[in-house]
Structure 1
Amino acid sequence: GLFGLGNSSKDAKIAADLAETTVAVIADAERLGTYECIPEPDIFDIEYWSLEQAKLSAAAEKPLARRIVVVTGGGSGIGAATSAAFAREGAEVVVFDRDVSRAKGFGIACDVTDPASVRAAFDKVAATFGGVDIVVSNAGAAWQGRIGDVDDATLRQSFELNFWAHQSVAQNAVRIMRTQGLGGCLLFNTSKQAVNPGPDFGPYGLPKAATLFLMRQYALDHGADGIRANAVNADRIRTGLLTDEMIAQRSKARGLSEADYMGGNLLGLEVTAEDVAQAFVSLAKAGRTTGAVTTVDGGNIAAALR
């Protein structure tokens, strides 16, 4: 067998390709006569040629190079923006999504509400990249309804995706991180709903509140393993989760125009998926921070943690 080693999957593939090519050249040479490598001084001159050294020194390593990042629901919306943001920082990004055709980069088909699917996806990441360093548990969807009227099936469905899926993802990540013995970082996409519920939005807010405390429990229970756990509380991000139709419904429920609803914060600005992505990247780099919540909502005192 042959292992290609490098600071990135691209570099590892290049190393493997060079090794395979060298083996083929040697085999061809031996069929005709005897293979003889070029003298060591010539190899030295090639590797330490001034222009080659200048090229190598100019290629500074990015902050998250050699980190393996998994993003669930990474094919669209906040997940897609987060995947792209980590890739720009040099990380190797793996996208879990039901529709991997939307994934940019390495995608694995995964239904996060199916524990067997989640386990198989993480095993594939470990087999392909050697492990996992950072996980952004992002996949989710919104259900609405007045809590006294909503049926049990709707509430249970929301909990399956907006709470239990986060537990399944985090548990499998921790399984691999503990085996590696290198620590790791769990990042959860919670919501403003976790601390400041909106009317007729209980089916979404309840599991999100549970997920916020799930994050804290992971921080508490696995800090000794070097595993950090943090969350991002975002609000009113125009994505596939918060569609134009839902924006109309939510603004009506609050008695606001759509423009006032989306920009209803202290800064008076609509928050974007890219803003949330940058918060995830920042938390991934914050090596001494765990059990924390970063709020990305333009400023909402009613939703401030206290």
Structure 2
Amino acid sequence: LLDRRSSPEIMRLLGDPRLDELALRGVSTPDHVIRTKGAPLVLPAPPADGSLEAWLETVEPRLAGFAEDYRGYFARNDARAPGVRKMLDPLPRLVAAPGLGLIGVGKSAAEAAVAADIGEAWAATVLRAEAVGRFEPVAEADMFDLEYWSLEQAKLGKGVEKRLARHVVAVTGAAGAIGAATARAFAAEGAEIAALDIDGAGAEQLAAAISPSALGLACDVTDRASVKVAFERVTERFGGLDIVVSNAGAAWTGAIADLDDAILRQSFELNFFAHQSVAQAAVRIMRRQRMGGALLFNVSKQAVNPGRDFGAYGLPKAALLALVRQYALEHGRDGIRVNAVNADRIRSGLLTDEMVAARAEARGVSEADYMAGNLLGREVRAEDVAQAFVSAALMMRTTGAVVTVDGGAVEAMMR
């Protein structure tokens, strides 16, 4: 996870021609080495013409060089000091990128923010020290002794990471029942959450309830520009994107022969084309990251088992299922896994309490019996759908699959 800072003071330091030399002098106070190592990784300034591919080719050797230098630092000082130590990972915790800013790096958004906070303090200290004299921290040996002091190491904690720690998850339609349950389920697994919804206030409220680092954004998924801006905000906040749950949707009803074209087009915009816009934005990011990823879609049992007067909803959902398979086919080579969840009879904005009451009455059964009208005889909840999305995200060798979450409906079984 990344946290970028670009205050005027930071940008002034990053523009100093002595940056490489200043960075190697060390941290502003010895205990900071615990969080940021002894120096930041200094990157070259990105080209003015925006040709990032050539820039990335220069970044990778610098990262490899940083790691090699850290291994040398450990070997020198480990041989000097008595005791048995296990080398920490050699990757940077602070990146100095001229033209971009100072970037904190961590296993979580909170950890990256701490590194960035320390980086800001380091930049201020360097500038002020150089203004009156020379920035001269403690020697390497003293810094090593503190970094590998057992009591200082204990501050970092030794807990086991959750299954989706270090993952950034964006959920659309997050203010609704299934979206909110899904965002919470991923957060419980350690993921960083970006909650997107046309109801921006609802998305922000959900994010605030999940964690201080979660991001809530207004996003109209039927508007490509809105999707683009939202995904840019996600990557700006967290430094990347790993999993997308394309969940936003709504149902229109009516006999297909009498259905107004405008209604059908409106349904296709939200229940098909919006998913395409979200997927395109996500794939652009994932391909540039070159780390794979997961696209997860909320399809519907209507895609394979259409209901009477639900053509306006079922038709775009059937097209969406085909879209899922197409993305799986074309982006497996990019390491992007693409899977779907087909749910049915979930209390939500698509199936309100009033609708449940009306349908139960029409069938001459109780509301409880209507909601439990499946092979298992149990009502399926939004939380059950959320767990299906989490499970799909964890299936590292599966793509093009459909997970049914309906308690068992023979007509909707895929095979």
TM-score (norm 2): 0.69
Q: Decide which moves more: 210-219 or 56-65.
A: 56-65
Q: Work out which of the two has the higher radius of gyration on C-alpha atoms and give 1 or 2.
A: 2
Number of equivalent positions: 306
The residue number in structure 1 matching 2:91 is none
Tell me the CA shift for residue 38 of structure 1: 3.3
* Alpha-carbon distance between aligned partners in 1 of 2:178 and 2:359, rounded to the nearest angstrom: 19
* Alpha-carbon distance between aligned partners in 2 of 1:173 and 1:3, rounded to the nearest angstrom: 23
Q: How do 1:255-270 residues align onto structure 2 when only pairs under 5 Å count?
A: 256-270=365-379
SS in 2 for 1:136: strand
**Do structure 1's residue 187 and structure 2's residue 187 form an aligned pair?**
no
Tell me the CA shift for residue 248 of structure 1: 2.8
The residue number in structure 2 matching 1:216 is 325
Structure 1 pair 253–173 and aligned structure 2 pair: CA distance change class (3 A): farther
* Alpha-carbon distance between aligned partners in 1 of 2:363 and 2:397, rounded to the nearest angstrom: 39
CA contact (8 A) 1:238 1:273 kept: yes
Deviations 1:132-178 (A, max 9, x none): 21110000111122222222222211111111111111111112222
Deviations 1:34-79 (A, max 9, x none): 5542344443343323233345352322222222211101123111
CA contact (8 A) 1:186 1:228 kept: yes
The residue number in structure 2 matching 1:11 is 111
The aligned amino acid for 2:343 is A
Structure 1 pair 57–11 and aligned structure 2 pair: CA distance change class (3 A): closer
Post-superposition, which runs of at least 4 consecutive aligned residues in structure 1 deviate over 6 A?
A: none
**Do structure 1's residue 128 and structure 2's residue 243 form an aligned pair?**
no
**Do structure 1's residue 53 and structure 2's residue 176 form an aligned pair?**
no
Where structure 2 has 5 or more consecutive residues not aligned to the other structure, the ranges are 1-100, 208-213
Structure 1 pair 116–29 and aligned structure 2 pair: CA distance change class (3 A): closer
Structure 1 pair 160–254 and aligned structure 2 pair: CA distance change class (3 A): farther
* Alpha-carbon distance between aligned partners in 2 of 1:290 and 1:7, rounded to the nearest angstrom: 27
Q: How do 1:142-291 residues align onto structure 2 when only pairs under 5 Å count?
A: 142-252=251-361, 254=363, 256-291=365-400
CA contact (8 A) 2:244 2:295 kept: yes
SS in 1 for 2:190: coil
Where structure 1 has 5 or more consecutive residues not aligned to the other structure, the ranges are none
**Do structure 1's residue 82 and structure 2's residue 182 form an aligned pair?**
yes
The aligned amino acid for 1:99 is D
The residue number in structure 2 matching 1:106 is 215
TM-score (norm 1): 0.92
CA contact (8 A) 1:94 1:125 kept: yes
**Do structure 1's residue 70 and structure 2's residue 170 form an aligned pair?**
yes
Deviations 1:155-205 (A, max 9, x none): 211111111111111111112222222222110001111111222222111
CA contact (8 A) 2:201 2:218 kept: no
Determine which structure has greater relative contact order: mean sequence separation of CA pairs < 8 Å that are 6+ residues apart, divided by chain length.
1
* Alpha-carbon distance between aligned partners in 2 of 1:228 and 1:97, rounded to the nearest angstrom: 24
* Alpha-carbon distance between aligned partners in 2 of 1:10 and 1:149, rounded to the nearest angstrom: 54
Structure 1 pair 76–95 and aligned structure 2 pair: CA distance change class (3 A): same
Identity of aligned residues (%): 67
* Alpha-carbon distance between aligned partners in 1 of 2:319 and 2:366, rounded to the nearest angstrom: 30
